[in-house]
Amino acid sequence: MRNAIALTALLSPAVLLGMSVPALAADNGIYIGGSVGQANVEVDNIPELSSEDFKGDDTGYKFIVGIRPLDWLAVEANYVDFGSPKDTVAGTQVKASGDGITASVLGFLPIGPVDLFARAGLISWDTDLEGRPSTDGTDLAYGVGAQFRVWSISVRAEYEKFDVDDLDDLSMFSIGATFTFL
């Protein structure tokens, strides 16, 4: 009971401060930014190499350009680089690489200075897995995230999934920032 009272006493000022920050939240408008994180690539049963699976991850990054005309809606384009994940397949070191351009619509749920968001859109991608021909295409991209906004700066964390036909899993968890200007 004493711990609950102490926790309430510690958190109450933080909650009150959080409720007063919306006045500092960024205006809607055009924004730019970037993120860095962990990209994951999985390919099951690679017949050109063996019947084994490729599962690798590496540092990925993305550049962000968007416009948020309404508190609950944004349109965003990203350049995404999935890094160069490596894995050992049939005793051989295999490296993958991939990148793409995404176009997404984001729906926001503003809660004070914090925005929860979901995204849905398309990715035009290019992938290369050693031992296989390079491939490209356009497929579905979607994700969820949260961001904290103060003035014109937002710090965000998000998880994105890319339904690339040739891969069994392509996803990325990233942390980044955006800057909004009018």
Tell whether the model's pLDDT for residue 9 goes beyond 80.
Answer: no
pLDDT tens string 59-109 = 999 999 999 999 999 999 999 999 999 998 888 888 999 999 999 999 999
Residue 14 pLDDT > 90, yes or no? no
Say how far apart CA 163 and CA 159 lie, in whole Å. Answer: 13
Residues found in the chain: 182
Q: β-strands 73-81, 92-111: how paired?
A: antiparallel
Q: Whose CA is closest to 78, among 144, 128, 31, 145? A: 31
Q: Which helix (H) or strand (E) holds 19?
A: helix 2-20
Q: Which has the closest alpha carbon to 165: 136, 134, 145?
A: 136
Measured CA to CA in angstroms, residue 109 lies from 115, 118, 124, 147, 149 at distances of: 6, 9, 27, 10, 13
Q: Which of 135, 137, 166 is nearest to 43 (CA)?
A: 166
Using 50, 70 and 90 to split pLDDT, how confident is the model at 171? Answer: very high
The model carries a pTM of: 0.82
Query: Where are the strands (E) in 71-150, listed by range?
Result: 73-81, 86-89, 92-111, 114-129, 135-150
